Amino acid sequence: MSATPQPAKMKKDESFLGKLGGTLVRKKKSKEVSDLHEEGKNAINAPMLPTGTEIHPEDTLMEENAERIMLDPTSRENLKFKDLLKVLIDWINSELEEDRIIVKDLEEDCYDGQVLQKLFEKLSGRKLNVAEVTQSEIGQKQKLQTVLESVNEMLRPHGWTIEWNVDSIHSKNLVAIVYLLVAMAMHFQAPIRLPEHVSAQVVVVKKREGILQTALVTKELTSTTEMMMGRFERDAFDTLLDHAPDKLNVVKTSLITFVNKHLNKLNLEVTELESQFADGVYLILLMGLLEDYFVPLFNFFLTPESFEQKVHNVAFAFELMQDGGLKKPKARPEDVVNLNLKSTLRVLYNLFTNYKNSE
């Protein structure tokens, strides 16, 4: 007798599950319709969007005449671009090592202004009047505003184009962040070698009359080290390289003859100016020969291996030149180490004009 109600109970359960299943199916279909509608909306609004670039929901809700910039995915995978990111990250971590700050991702670690504040304070020696830790978006943007105003005030007189603002940095625009860091690195003469001629493609999304318009734009992030420095006045070597490159070999031959006249006393010989002076050793030995003194070996690295050791050597050679009454070289030690021919020529020509009659 007790078994007879069971079929009715099972039907009741089946009926409940069926209703539940029907509800789930309807919700799923509703979501599919919504997704399909969104997909169609995007397809209509962004017919020219490059392959692999996603339109985010907030893009379709952009205000009229608003603009949004995104890094094209292909540029993110570019080897030179990735190399530039690594150089910048390593530089920041080296500068902020004492603050125990470790940057792993420029977008995620720089957008709130904390790292940029510490980096600017370390490089400039100035303390900014900002809150140390800010969690709110308003607080983060206020900090960014203070930091960027100080950075821009320092960079503008040197001809830098400001390619960043509070909103672009806070929205984690990687191109804007890289522009800012490259400018800071060059202005403060960071002892790093930035890869030259790095470009990135960005997708510019604009809203015009309710329709999203897209365009692919190429942004030049780095040019040559010397052009980015914007510090050197044009001189005879600029004219020589720009307008009379055929005469360059004549100048190089004269300088090689001059340096070998002295280095031969130590059984040393130079054949390539830009590469053989890049580690600073020959420059130091040459100064000792020109000024007639022995340079103690503990003052420099005789067989430098790292970039920093080479920079140390060239900087030390520059000090010896100034001790000898020469003007401070226009070139940076980093430029000579980076095999910058024009910088090396300037240094050697300065020695030639002052010591060409020395025996």
Kindly provide the b/e burial profile for residues 241-272, where b requires at least 16 CB atoms within 10 angstroms of the residue's own CB: eeeeeeeeeebbeebbebbeebbeeeebebee
- Among 95-109, 209-223, 300-314, the minimum mean pLDDT is found in 209-223
What is d(CA 90, CA 103) in angstroms, rounded to the nearest whole number? 8
How much is the pLDDT for 48?
46
pLDDT at 144: 94
> Residue 242 pLDDT > 80, yes or no?
no
Token digits of residue 292: 């007639």
Count other Cβ atoms within 10 Å, centred on residue 147: 24
The pLDDT tens digits of the residues spanning 184-193 come to 988 887 878 7
What single-letter DSSP state applies at residue 234? Answer: P
61-66 long-range contacts (CB < 8 A, ≥24 apart) are: 62/205, 62/207, 62/212, 63/207, 64/207, 64/208, 64/209, 64/210, 65/206, 65/207, 65/208, 66/206, 66/207
Q: C-alpha angle 256/262/263, rounded to 5°?
A: 75
Question: Which residues on neighbouring strands pair with residue 214, listed in sequence order?
Answer: 205
Inter-CA distances, 28 with 23, 39, 67, Å: 9, 16, 34
- Burial of 36 from C-beta contacts in 10 A (0-12 / 13-18 / 19+): exposed
| pLDDT tens, position by position, 129-156 | 888 777 789 989 999 999 999 999 988 8
Check pLDDT > 50 for residue 9.
Answer: no
Please name every residue paired with 215 in a beta bridge, in sequence order, or none if there are none: 204
Strands 211-220 and 199-208, sheet pairing: antiparallel
pLDDT of the residue at 40: 45
pLDDT at residue 11 tops 50: no
Which single residue is written with the structure tokens 């790093």? 192
Q: Which residue has the higher pLDDT, 243 or 127?
A: 127
| First-last CA distance in the chain | 126
Whole-prediction pTM: 0.55
53 dihedral zone (left: phi>0; alpha: psi -120 to 50; beta): beta
Confidence at 173, pLDDT banded by 50, 70, 90 = very high
Task: Decide which of 123 and 60 is more confident.
Answer: 123
Residue 122, H or E segment: helix 114-124
Give the confidence band of 54 by pLDDT, cuts at 50, 70, 90.
low
